[in-house]
């Protein structure tokens, strides 16, 4: 999200080391994340974000120190283990890319991309509620428009912290009026979806952590029961928020386009054709789609091309 207006204040800092399953390249992962969004407000090679941990707002800075180690800096007195878990969650520290790389090592189209983007892992939001709201905001509009809406949403309902913003909690959005939510740019329907999800989380009718513990098919069915969610939103939350590397939003126009161009006839593939073209990469079909999109986004960013309507993982 955008930067808060307040500057950083001097404070004693602590550091926590976070182990990451190699290969991993934080700088490359941040650069690709920037290619997917209009801006992420990050200095090169540095991940900065803020999150609420146990009732305390924590501003965290993350740098890579070795091939398998990140260093997370945070204010003294914070919960070191919670900071480590939060950073590990954001960068998918436990994701092992090596089996995927071995599977695709001889593929004529994907293998060169894997070599160029070696160590790339997706970045994900700091929590599943934020991920679900991301999915709602990105339905049927451009990435740039969705990012602008979320920025306004966070700056109206979130919490500033040393140059960053903490995503608003479910309680705060559950209490908002539809008019307040719509003032951020959300449509009436999406404002209703966001508030309904927040209220369902507050009441316990929806438990995203419990859904995340389910097998892929069951988790997909549970997500489809959330108001405003369809197959695209469910698969998007699964692959990006819940780190299910085999899930793919097959109806996504951007994915169908890049898969058709890179793996198929050169034209946009149908949903069924996209599934068939990605089938050889199971159980990493979502990762394969992500790398194809990342290659395209990287090239588009270099050429300053506009972002397409979808095509995000």
How many domains does the chain divide into?
3
Cα–Cα distance for residue pair 225/159, rounded to 1 Å = 30
Whether residue 143 sits in one domain with residue 217:
yes
Residue 218 lies in a domain: yes
Residue 52 lies in a domain: yes
Whether residue 152 sits in one domain with residue 199:
yes
Digit-by-digit pLDDT tens for the chain (313 residues) are 544 433 444 569 999 999 999 999 999 999 999 888 765 556 889 999 999 998 899 999 999 999 999 999 999 999 999 999 999 999 999 999 999 999 999 999 999 999 999 999 999 999 999 999 999 999 999 888 999 999 999 999 999 998 899 999 999 999 999 999 999 999 999 999 999 999 999 999 999 999 999 999 999 999 999 999 999 999 999 999 999 999 999 999 999 999 999 999 999 999 999 999 999 999 999 999 999 999 998 887 666 655 444 566 7
Whether residue 233 sits in one domain with residue 135:
yes
Say if CB 238 and CB 244 are below 8 A apart.
yes
Residue 113 lies in a domain: no
Residue ranges making up the domain that contains 288: 253-302
Sheet strands side by side (includes 69-75):
13-19, 69-75, 56-66, 47-53
Q: Is 310 exposed, middle or buried (0-12, 13-18, 19+ CB in 10 A)?
A: buried
Residue 139 lies in a domain: yes
pTM: 0.91
Angle at 260 between CA 256 and CA 263, to 5 degrees: 125
Cα–Cα distance for residue pair 7/203, rounded to 1 Å = 36
3-state secondary structure 16-41: EEEECCCCCCHHHHHHHHHHHCCCCC
């Amino acid at each position: 999200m955008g930067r808060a207006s307040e500057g950083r204040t001097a404070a004693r800092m602590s550091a926590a080391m976070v182990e990451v399953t190699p290969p991993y390249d934080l700088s490359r992962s941040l650069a690709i994340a920037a290619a997917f969004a209009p801006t992420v407000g990050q200095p090169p090679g540095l991940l900065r974000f803020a999150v609420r941990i146990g009732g305390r707002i924590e501003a965290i800075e993350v740098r890579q120190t070795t091939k398998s180690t990140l260093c997370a800096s945070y204010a003294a007195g914070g919960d070191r283990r919670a900071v480590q878990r939060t950073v590990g969650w954001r960068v998918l520290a436990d994701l092992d890319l090596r089996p995927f790389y071995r599977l695709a090592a001889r593929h004529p189209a994907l293998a060169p991309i894997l070599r160029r983007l070696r160590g790339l892992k997706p970045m994900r939001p700091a929590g599943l509620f934020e991920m679900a709201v991301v999915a709602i905001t990105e339905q049927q509009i451009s990435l740039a428009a969705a990012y602008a809406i979320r920025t306004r949403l966070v700056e109206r309902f979130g919490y500033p912290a040393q140059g960053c913003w903490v995503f608003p909690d479910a309680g705060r959005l559950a209490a908002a009026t539809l008019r307040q939510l719509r003032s951020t740019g959300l449509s009436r329907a999406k404002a209703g979806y966001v508030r309904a999800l927040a209220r369902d989380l507050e009441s316990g009718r929806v438990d995203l952590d419990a859904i995340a513990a389910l097998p892929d098919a069951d988790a997909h069915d549970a997500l489809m029961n959330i108001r405003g969610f369809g197959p695209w939103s469910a698969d998007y939350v699964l692959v990006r928020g819940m780190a299910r590397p085999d899930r793919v939003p097959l109806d996504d126009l951007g994915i169908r386009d890049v898969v058709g161009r890179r793996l198929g006839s050169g034209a946009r593939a149908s949903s069924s054709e996209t599934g068939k073209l990605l089938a050889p990469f199971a159980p990493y079909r979502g990762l394969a789609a992500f790398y194809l999109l990342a290659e395209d986004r990287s090239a588009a960013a270099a050429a300053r091309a506009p972002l397409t309507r979808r095509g995000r993982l």
